[in-house]
Amino acid sequence: MTALSFREPDRVPLILGLTVHGAQELGLTIKEYFSRPANVAEAQVCMRRKYPHDAVTGFLYAAVEVEAWGGQVVFWEDGPPNSGEPFITNPDRIVSLEVPRVMETPCLRKGLQVIQLLKERIGEEAVIPGAVTSPFSLPVMQMGFEKYLELIQERPNVFERLVRVNEEFCVSWANAQLEAGADAISYSDPLASPEFFPREMYRSTGFEIARRCISRIKGAVLYNMASARCLPIAAELSLTGASCLGVSAQEDLGKVKGECAGRIGVAGNLNGLEMRRWSQEQAELAVKTCISAAGPGGGFILTDNHGEIPWQVPFRVVSWISEAARKWGAYPLEWASEHG
């Protein structure tokens, strides 16, 4: 919180997005791992002990939100569970959609139990972030990208109805996680990026949706672009009410920090895909580069560019990142100007 108040803390905060890695830690399949809240909580605590960082995640998998609406979840052997076939096959169904009740939905209760267990184990020693998918981006999983684009263009009234029910779900799910013990919420909204929608279209849709939702979420919010670019809309994102912005590895972290300085913190932007092949020297250089670009003056959290480190990244690389962050992240960052 010191960093996100645009002051320099004792060191740069580090968050390692270790989700599916918990299955490797416990020697379980990914499906077995996510079947019991106790598995997730145990693995998160163990991994934080081995690879010191400043958070333990209560996040399960993004498709849990599709599962809550009655959709299908597909489990993989080497990656996060994903949503199956879209459950909204006919837009006419949207008018009769009812918002899932969080406390009556088993998959969501499981997520809340993970957070509660982590709070019991961790207390105030580390941040416990929860996660939601934005009402603007969730329909891609609910109905598929092509049909969603058609809905926006051809049936704006039905699009507005879908957004409104998703908003109610997003806010109730986020606040339930905060009540269970989460300290902040990651608001995942990759469709906000100009890679998907023109800036003006985002301003009239996703931007207004985000402002409404975030104003009702009773805790700090990280606007997570999930690897998508954000610099062209950084001004808008700084006005959503979010405290921090996730930055793509495809962007210049220093430029994003400069654009956001004093208005919204930045988090990023270690490349999770390249991370699979890093040597110790490459990991250390990547950490130093991020810290020198965005660390001075605070307002920065070091993390990966997506919010979830891929299954294929070896634990040794995770350890090298943690070690380098401790070595080079202590304030004051006197070495940073020379490195830059």
* pLDDT, tens digit only, all 340 positions of the chain: 899 999 999 999 999 999 999 999 999 999 999 999 999 999 999 999 999 999 999 899 999 999 999 999 999 999 999 999 999 999 999 999 999 999 999 999 999 999 999 999 999 999 999 999 999 999 999 999 999 999 999 999 999 999 999 999 999 999 999 999 999 999 999 999 999 999 999 999 999 999 999 999 999 999 999 999 999 999 999 999 999 999 999 999 999 999 998 999 999 999 999 999 999 999 999 999 999 999 999 999 999 999 999 999 999 999 999 999 999 999 999 998 766 5
Contact 222, 245 (CB under 8 A): yes
* Residues with Cβ within 8 Å of residue 150, at least 6 apart in sequence: none
Per the domain annotation, does 2 fall within a domain? no
Contact 80, 61 (CB under 8 A): yes
Q: Where are the beta strands (DSSP E) in the chain?
A: 73-74, 82-83, 129-133, 184-188, 220-224, 244-246, 265-270, 300-304
**Nearest to residue 33, comparing CAs of 84, 78, 100, 85?**
78
The number of domains in the chain is 1
**Nearest to residue 273, comparing CAs of 318, 303, 306, 300?**
306
Contact 62, 74 (CB under 8 A): no
Q: Find residue 244's DSSP bridge partners.
A: 222, 265
What is the rounded CA–CA span in Å between residue 51 and residue 43? 12
Per the domain annotation, does 95 fall within a domain? yes
**161-210 pLDDT per residue, tens:** 999 999 999 999 999 999 999 999 999 999 999 999 999 999 999 999 99
Mean pLDDT over all residues of the chain? Answer: 96
Per the domain annotation, does 276 fall within a domain? no
* Residues with Cβ within 8 Å of residue 8, at least 6 apart in sequence: 2, 296, 297, 298, 331, 332
Q: Indicate which CATH number applies to the domain containing 192.
A: 3.20.20.210
Domain with 217, as residue range(s), is: 18-270
Contacts from 331-338 at CB under 8 Å and sequence distance 24+? 331/8, 331/9, 331/10, 331/11, 331/12, 331/295, 332/8, 333/291, 333/292, 333/295, 333/296, 335/292, 336/291, 336/292, 336/295, 336/296, 337/292, 337/296
What is the rounded CA–CA span in Å between residue 159 and residue 164? 9
Per the domain annotation, does 309 fall within a domain? no
Counts of helices then strands in the chain (DSSP H, E): 15, 8
* Residues with Cβ within 8 Å of residue 38, at least 6 apart in sequence: 117
Q: What local confidence, expressed as pLDDT, does residue 1 receive?
A: 86
Q: What local confidence, expressed as pLDDT, does residue 336 receive?
A: 86
What is the rounded CA–CA span in Å between residue 308 and residue 267? 13
Per the domain annotation, does 263 fall within a domain? yes
Q: What local confidence, expressed as pLDDT, does residue 339 receive?
A: 60
**17-43 pLDDT per residue, tens:** 999 999 999 999 999 999 999 999 999
The SS3 of residue 81 is: coil
Per the domain annotation, does 302 fall within a domain? no
Backbone angles phi, psi at 279, to 5 degrees: -85, 175
φ/ψ region of 268 (left if φ > 0, alpha if ψ in -120 to 50, else beta) reads left
pTM of this structure: 0.96
Contact 19, 307 (CB under 8 A): no
3-state SS record for 283-332: HHHHHHHHHHHHCCCCCEEEEECCCCCCCCCCHHHHHHHHHHHHHHCECC
Q: What local confidence, expressed as pLDDT, does residue 340 receive?
A: 52
Per the domain annotation, does 332 fall within a domain? no
Q: Find residue 94's DSSP bridge partners.
A: none
Q: What local confidence, expressed as pLDDT, does residue 323 receive?
A: 98
Q: What local confidence, expressed as pLDDT, does residue 201 receive?
A: 92
Per the domain annotation, does 121 fall within a domain? yes
